């Protein structure tokens, strides 16, 4: 037993010495700040060796025995057991040497021994509040060895002192490892293991519990430092380690909440910076992508903020500040607004007539793939009479039909399109006054270009006629069939096209029309009356055919591959696209195109505009 106690004391002394050694280098610079000492071990916590106890020499005579007995009983009653020659145990031992067979003295010594053990256990229990109480327990143990070394209760007490010694030694080792930053839960010789040994020896050991709390705090701090550096995977690993140190406490969950909030704030700040950058027309997209890259380094997969910014960048790349399907108008000054526009999606399609397509001509071939890497806005309907009137009123512009005094209008008596004087953009298909919501007709390609240029000037945006490729892309709206709606007869309310069931005011019928189809109209109708296509655009398939920006070429050979208009400076012949109220089924096909002099005006051709994003 003495050897066991001495080894424990030596271990304590060794632990105290080791605690003064410099800690080892941290694993990474990011964890250096987390490894500052948390628990400081002071020298007065170590138990210096307690010398063997020797009972003081007390002379007992027959004359003094009774008085010494009373003095010993009083000392025992007052709890003064061994500190001086006036205390109970030295007096009882002296009296027992004089009267070894006195049973009352043996009983008194037994009571003193029990009181000594009680005081020693109280000292052990007090270690949590006052580490120096361990020395008091050792002093009691030294007396107990002299008093009754073979007594079973004394032996049990000495075992308790040994466990207290070992627990304190383990605590010191744990504190040394803690101060050195060796706190990984899996380490057999790390701080957690040592504090665990202390608790195995002394359940509820306050010093060990404090050490584990410090380990937990250090692991949480490492998690916080990792989070500050953007390494949230490492932060979560550290939190998972911390959660094993003191199960059931709230510290780890509280830290996880703080880190999650910090992470969300950083992610949201990066998203906001990325969104703000997108407003810059110069390098905004590149700067937004840099913000997104920073977000993706710290965000979880599928983080809504990162997904949102990625989508916004994608949209900005293809649509500027708009979204596909968005409907808007531009201000023209003085409270006026431009035509209603629809943002059509970027994408690809096959332009031209398919091999073997009935009624196709060489002018519609060769078919080729066209890709639009950027969306654009197209007017939702053909330009109306009212919209064109605002242009004329603002500029005093005179159209081609006005200057030459006539246009080509429909004659109900003959059923033909004929030249008629006094017909211009204010007129309908029959030469009568047109309603404001009718598509403007009797306008030349040059008149359409002039209107687009005026819109550009007034809105400070880029307006133009669509290219032929843009028109067909918008007309097909994702479909690849013969007609804009697919193959076969048009579905109900597909548009204002020639229907076999339609009739003129005098009862005329089409000789070449879609059998059985009726749209309820003869001549153009107010714009937007029929259902829009998949892109949200009205009347591309019918109502009136439309000017586009391209010059006429007999085939698509050598045509631009990027969807730009194919223009030759000074060309006189332009392209007209899309079916009209008077077009045969063959002329209503998606690939149909026809040449027309740029000065032509008639009752079948109008136009619409596009606006670049």
Residues 487, 489, 495, 498, CA torsion sign = positive
**CA-CA distance, 361 to 67, in Å (whole number)?**
141
218 conformational bin, left if phi > 0, alpha if psi -120 to 50, beta if neither: alpha
Q: Is the pLDDT of residue 543 over 60?
A: yes
- pLDDT at residue number 7: 36
Q: Is the pLDDT of residue 149 over 60?
A: yes
Domain boundaries, the chain: 2-207, 261-319, 336-385+438-612
% of the chain beyond a pLDDT of 90: 90
Number of H helices and number of E strands within the chain? Answer: 17, 15
Report pLDDT digits (tens) over 168-183. Answer: 999 999 999 999 999 9
pLDDT band at 281 (very low <50, low <70, confident <90, very high): confident
- pLDDT at residue number 321: 84
Report pLDDT digits (tens) over 396-441. Answer: 999 999 999 999 999 999 999 999 999 999 999 999 999 999 999 9
Cβ 566 vs Cβ 560: under 8 Å: yes
- pLDDT at residue number 48: 73
% of the chain beyond a pLDDT of 70: 92
Report pLDDT digits (tens) over 254-264. Answer: 999 999 999 99
**CA-CA distance, 591 to 349, in Å (whole number)?**
12
Torsion of CA 462, 465, 466, 467, to 10 degrees: -110
- pLDDT at residue number 8: 36
- pLDDT at residue number 304: 95
Cis amide bond preceding 340, omega within 30: no
Residues 6 or more apart whose CB falls under 8 angstroms from that of 43 comprise 16
Q: Would you state the structure tokens that stand for residue 75, as one six-digit string?
A: 């000392």
Evaluate if pTM is beyond 0.75. Answer: no
Return phi, psi of residue 23, to 5°: -70, 160
Report pLDDT digits (tens) over 51-73. Answer: 999 999 999 999 999 999 999 99
In sequence order, which ranges of 150-190 are alpha helices (DSSP H)? 152-179
Average confidence (pLDDT) over 272-289: 93
What are the distances in angstroms from CA 119 to CA 76, 123, 177, 206?
Answer: 12, 6, 33, 20
Give the mean pLDDT of the chain. 91
H or E segment at 596?
A: strand 593-597
- pLDDT at residue number 243: 96
Report pLDDT digits (tens) over 7-52. Answer: 333 333 333 333 333 333 344 444 444 444 444 444 344 567 899 9
Report pLDDT digits (tens) over 190-230. Answer: 999 999 999 999 999 999 999 999 999 999 999 999 999 99
Q: Is the pLDDT of residue 85 over 70?
A: yes
Report pLDDT digits (tens) over 458-515. Answer: 999 999 999 999 999 999 999 999 999 999 999 999 999 999 999 999 999 999 999 9
**Class (C level, CATH) for 336-385+438-612:** alpha beta
């Amino acid at each position: 037993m003495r050897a066991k106690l001495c080894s424990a004391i030596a271990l304590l002394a060794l632990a105290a010495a080791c605690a003064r050694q410099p800690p080892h280098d941290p694993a990474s610079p990011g964890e250096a700040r987390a490894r500052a000492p948390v628990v400081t071990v002071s020298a007065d916590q170590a138990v210096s060796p307690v010398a063997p106890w020797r009972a003081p020499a007390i002379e007992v005579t027959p004359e003094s025995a009774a008085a010494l007995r009373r003095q010993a009983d009083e000392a025992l009653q007052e709890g003064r057991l061994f500190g001086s020659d006036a205390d109970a145990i030295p007096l009882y031992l002296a009296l027992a040497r004089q009267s070894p067979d006195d049973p009352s003295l043996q009983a008194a010594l037994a009571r003193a021994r029990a009181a000594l053990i009680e005081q020693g256990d109280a000292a052990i229990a007090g270690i949590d509040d006052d580490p120096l109480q361990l020395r008091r327990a050792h002093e009691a143990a030294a007396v107990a060895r002299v008093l009754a070394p073979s007594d079973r209760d004394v032996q049990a007490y000495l075992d308790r002192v040994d466990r207290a010694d070992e627990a304190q030694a383990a605590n010191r080792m744990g504190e040394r490892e803690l101060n050195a930053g060796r706190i990984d839960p899996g380490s057999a010789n790390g701080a957690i293991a040592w504090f665990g040994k202390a608790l195995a020896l002394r359940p509820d050991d306050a010093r060990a519990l404090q050490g584990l709390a410090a380990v937990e705090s250090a692991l949480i701090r490492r998690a916080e430092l990792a989070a500050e550096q953007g390494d949230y995977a490492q932060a979560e690993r550290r939190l998972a380690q911390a959660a094993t140190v003191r199960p059931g406490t709230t510290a780890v969950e509280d830290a996880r909440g703080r880190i999650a909030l910090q992470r969300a704030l950083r992610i949201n700040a990066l998203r906001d910076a990325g969104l703000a950058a997108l407003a810059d027309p110069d390098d905004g997209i590149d700067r937004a992508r840099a913000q997104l890259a920073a977000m993706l380094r710290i965000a979880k997969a599928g983080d809504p903020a990162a997904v949102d910014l990625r989508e916004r960048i994608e949209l900005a790349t293809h649509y500027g500040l708009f979204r596909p399907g968005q409907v808007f108008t531009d201000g023209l000054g003085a409270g006026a607004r431009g035509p209603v526009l629809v943002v059509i999606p970027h994408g690809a399609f096959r332009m031209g007539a398919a091999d073997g397509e009935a009624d196709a001509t060489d002018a519609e071939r060769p078919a080729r793939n066209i890709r639009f890497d950027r969306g654009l806005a197209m007017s939702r309907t053909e330009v109306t009479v009212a919209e064109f009137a605002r242009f004329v009123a603002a500029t005093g512009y005179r159209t081609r039909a006005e200057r030459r005094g006539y246009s080509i209008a429909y004659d109900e008596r003959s059923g033909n399109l004929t030249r008629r004087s006094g017909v211009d953009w204010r007129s309908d298909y029959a030469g009568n006054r047109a309603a404001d919501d009718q598509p403007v007709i009797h306008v030349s390609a040059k008149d359409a270009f002039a209107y687009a240029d005026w819109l550009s000037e007034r809105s400070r945006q880029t307006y133009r006629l669509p290219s032929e490729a843009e028109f067909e892309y918008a007309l097909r709206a994702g479909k690849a069939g013969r007609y804009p709606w697919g193959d076969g007869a048009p579905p109900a309310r597909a548009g204002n096209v020639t229907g076999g069931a339609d009739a003129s005011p005098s009862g005329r019928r089409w000789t070449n029309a879609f059998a059985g189809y009726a749209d309820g109209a003869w001549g153009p109708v107010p714009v937007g009356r029929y259902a829009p296509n998949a892109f949200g655009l009205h009347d591309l398939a019918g109502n009136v055919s439309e000017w586009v920006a391209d010059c006429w070429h007999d085939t698509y050979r050598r045509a631009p591959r990027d969807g730009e208009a194919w223009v030759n400076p000074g060309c006189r012949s332009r392209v007209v696209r899309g079916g009209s109220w008077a077009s045969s089924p063959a002329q209503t096909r998606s690939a149909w195109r026809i040449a027309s002099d740029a000065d032509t005006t008639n009752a079948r051709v109008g136009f619409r505009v596009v606006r670049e994003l």
